[in-house]
Homo-oligomer: A and B are copies of this chain.
Amino acid sequence: MTAHKPSTRDTILDAAETVVGRDGARRLTIDAVAAEACVSKGGVLYHFPNKIALLKGMVERMMADVSQDFANCEAAAHAAGEPPLVHVFNAMFDRHDARKALSMALLAASAEHPDLLDPARDFLSSTFQRLSDDTPDPIGARLLLLAMDGLKLSALLGFDTIPENQLTQIRDRLVRLTHELYQ
């Protein structure tokens, strides 16, 4: 069991995401984050010298996580001799809730200073371009990736109201269409 407790830094970032998701990006104050993380205000400022640094930390951790996820998916797909996109989509559905919290960094950064999203924009743009280009039908792949975006970004605003049974059908269809891309 290497379930060692998360670092204070990560606890603070988790708390920030919780605050944004629950109270809105406007209430993401250093005081609120400190209270949510059960850390003093000084403690937060020890790890992140100012609020911009905190937001940068949120975006950077999100990108690192997403990057890792994609890498895992591509490795698993390669090992299984399957299309990478299938693994990407399945991973999204399997860890739907986890991703929802993660992306709160996007809302927070866009609210405070939209420029903070520049690195994320570049990273996601090139990643999605590559994912779709590595496919016999890039436009079809793009369309499916856009549908995935729709699901994730809807969840970001709480617009994820599709009933569970429809969601599994959508998942099945998405995976089926992904396989068809490669034929």
- Residues of chain A at the chain B interface (Cβ within 8 Å): 23-26, 106-107, 110-114, 117, 120-121, 124-125, 138-140, 142-151, 153-154, 156-159, 161-162, 166, 169-170, 173-174, 177
Given the interface pairs A26-B26, A111-B25, the reply to whether A149 lies near B139 with Cβ below 8 Å is: no
Q: Is the CB of A159 within 8 A of B114?
A: no
Closest to A154 in B: B149
Q: Is the CB of A124 within 8 A of B159?
A: yes
Report how far A166 CA is from B146 CA in the complex, Å. Answer: 13
Q: Is the CB of B146 within 8 A of A151?
A: yes
Closest to A142 in B: B170
- Pick the residue among B143, B154, B158, B159 that contacts A170 (CB under 8 A): B143
Q: Is the CB of B159 within 8 A of A146?
A: no
Provide the residues of chain B in CB contact with A114, threshold 8 Å: 23-24, 158
Provide the residues of chain B in CB contact with A106, threshold 8 Å: 157
Provide the residues of chain B in CB contact with A159, threshold 8 Å: 117, 120-121, 124-125
Given the interface pairs A121-B158, A174-B143, the reply to whether A26 lies near B25 with Cβ below 8 Å is: yes
Closest to A25 in B: B111
